[in-house]
Amino acid sequence: MIPEFKDRLIGSHILISEGLDKAVYHAEKLGCTAIQIFTKSSSQWNAKKLTDEQKAGFLEARQKTGISVPLAHASYLINLASPEPEQWNRSVEALFQEVDRCQFLKIPYLVLHPGSHKGAGVKEGILRTAEGINRLHEHQKENGTVILLECTAGQGAAIGSKIEELADILNEISDQTKIGICLDTCHLFAAGYDIRTKESFSNLFNQFDQILGIEKIKAFHLNDSQKELGSHVDRHAHIGKGKIGLEGFQYLLNDPRFKKIPMILETPKGTDDTFDLMNLTQLQKLIRLQK
C-alpha cells in the first residue's frame, strides 16, 4: 500500500545518485508530496556544475508529480560558526555555491546546520554564523533562496540546540525575508525538548512562539530518537520506534498551525524502499487518527 497525503506536504530525504529527476519520481512512487535532496555530495566541497538538461528534467518531474516544494540540505562540511578563518571562508564560499544551485533549480529552501564554535564559545559561534549568512545575502541580493537554520542536538560544540541560540542568530540577520527555521524532532528531543505529552508539546511551541515566533518555522524533519531526552546524541530512529514514540508525532502532524509546512523524514534507510514506506505509512495513520 502506498500512502496518500493529498493536501499535506509530507516526504522523505531522497538520494540523487540516479539523477535529480529520478529522485522526484522516486518520491512520487513512495507517495511523497514533498522532498528533500542534497544538490551535491554532502561530504565534498566541490561539485560539477549543473546542466540545463538536469534543470529541465528536475522541473518537469516536479510539474508531473505535483511535488512542487522541494527542500535542499546543505553539505555537512559547512561550518559558519568556525573560529578558524580558513574554514570559515571556505564555508561561506560553499554556502554561496549551495544557494546558487538552489536558485538554478528553483528550490525555495536550503536547510543549514548552524555549525560548531570549536571551543571559541557560543556567543562567538552565533556571531560568526550570522555574519556568514549576512555576507551571503549581501553578495547574492537577487537570490531568493531562504536559509532554514536547523535546530541541533547540542552535540560537542554545536550551536543552535537551544531556541534562544537560534533566536540570537536570527536577530543578527539583516534580511529577515531570507531566513527561517527547520525543526528536527530528533534533535529537539536530544536537546532536551519533550513532545511526548500534550502538555509538553504545547509548552514547547508556546515557548518557541514567545522566543522566536511560530511563523519562523518553515520545515520539519520527522525523526524519532534512539537516545533519551536531553542525551545530546543525534541518532535517528524510525517513527514510533525510538524514545519519542507515536504520540508526539501525532500532535505535530495534526496541529493546525503546521498543516501547510513541509515535513520530511530522515529516518534510517535500508537497501530498498521498505523503511521509507513503513515510516510514511505510519505518518499517514497518525494523521487519520484524529479525523
Which residue of 8, 13, 221, 227 would you call a contact of Mn ion, by CB under 5 A? 221
- Pair 77, 120: CB distance under 8 Å: no
Residue 234 in the binding site for Mn ion (CB under 5 A): yes
Q: Given the DSSP bridges, would you call strands 224-225 and 236-237 parallel, antiparallel or unpaired?
A: antiparallel
- Pair 58, 37: CB distance under 8 Å: no
Which one of 20-28, 53-61, 148-156, 250-258 is the stretch in contact with Zn ion (CB under 5 A)? 148-156
Residue 26 in the binding site for Mn ion (CB under 5 A): no
Given Zn ion, Mn ion, none, residue 21, with its beta carbon under 5 to 8 Å by kind, binds none
CB of 76 to Mn ion, least distance (A): 10
Rounded CA separation 97/220 (Å): 24
Comparing CB distances to Zn ion, the nearer of 61 and 179 is: 179
Comparing CB distances to Zn ion, the nearer of 28 and 150 is: 150
State the Rg of the chain over Cα.
Answer: 18
Which residue of 150, 165, 168, 224 would you call a contact of Zn ion, by CB under 5 A? 150
Residue 98 in the binding site for Zn ion (CB under 5 A): no
Rounded CA separation 218/227 (Å): 26
Comparing CB distances to Zn ion, the nearer of 150 and 276 is: 150
Comparing CB distances to Mn ion, the nearer of 61 and 191 is: 191
Closest CA to 242 of 164, 206, 190, 176: 190
Strand partners, 109: 71, 146
Comparing CB distances to Zn ion, the nearer of 42 and 197 is: 42
Binders of Mn ion among residues 158 to 187 (CB under 5 A) are 184
> Which of helix, strand or coil describes residue 152?
coil
Which one of 123-131, 134-142, 145-153, 254-262 is the stretch in contact with Zn ion (CB under 5 A)? 145-153
Rounded CA separation 103/232 (Å): 34
Binding-site size, Zn ion (CB under 5 A): 1
Binding-site size, Mn ion (CB under 5 A): 4
**DSSP string over 156-200:** TTB---SHHHHHHHHHT-S-GGGEEEEEEHHHHHHTT---SSHHH
Comparing CB distances to Mn ion, the nearer of 28 and 234 is: 234
* Site residues, Mn ion (CB under 5 A): 184, 221, 234, 266
* Site residues, Zn ion (CB under 5 A): 150
